[in-house]
A and B are shown apart, each in its own frame.
Chain A
């Protein structure tokens, strides 16, 4: 079974500083990879996804992520964060060989942007 590890449970960062959120997944089989953001009392919003092609994926709100198959990683980055980026971020993987539609999520990383 797939597993996803988000190495940092909390990341404090100052406004306008860069941030990197780390994500590793367990399986080397074909996968799709996703990053979602969750604001308080809301559902999950898709930031970006890797399905195939270029390993550098650009998403909404200035976020990007790089897929590294050999290291089974999919780290999320933003060069300059805003206060509004304070939220919880989830990495998720879909195993293409599994039946149906299912995402396995990491435990989440809380980003707190300080002024």
Chain B
């Protein structure tokens, strides 16, 4: 069974640009969540998508957005990048029913210069 796949693994972007990260969940999983990990703030919840609908949202500005497709794949977008957006972005999937934890991807390391 394939795990959670995140692409790309590494990205370098310039301040002011936008970026799109992709996540393919485990087959059969309908819930995809995104987390931002930084040394200063730790692991912070961005949002969760279930059956193409955002079901839960963290406390991030509107520059951070996401979507989920009918095959459960998800993308997150960050517009007008700031230096502080440099982080490891982790995607996690779960079945979506009777939550008993996530399976995480390896993450996308975003560096904003």
Contact = CB atoms under 8 A, between A and B. Distances in A.
Interface of A: 32, 34, 36, 41-46, 49, 51, 90, 94, 98-108
Interface centre among A42, A51, A94, A100 (most CB of B within 10 A): A100
Chain A interface main SS type: loop
Query: What 4 A-B pairs come out closest when comparing CB atoms?
Result: A100-B56, A43-B104, A100-B55, A105-B43
Interface of B: 4, 6, 31, 33, 42-43, 45, 48, 50, 55-56, 90, 92, 94, 96, 99-107, 109
B42 A34 contact: no
Contacts of A104: 45
A45 B104 contact: yes
B101 A46 contact: yes
B57 to A, nearest CB: 9
Contacts of B42: 105-108
B94 A101 contact: yes
Contacts, number: 62
A94 B50 CA distance: 17
A34 B109 CA distance: 24
Contacts of B33: 101-102
21 contacts: A41-B106, A42-B106, A43-B90, A49-B101, A94-B99, A98-B56, A99-B55, A99-B56, A100-B31, A100-B48, A100-B55, A101-B48, A101-B50, A101-B55, A101-B102, A102-B33, A102-B45, A102-B56, A103-B101, A105-B43, A108-B43
A35 to B, nearest CB: 10
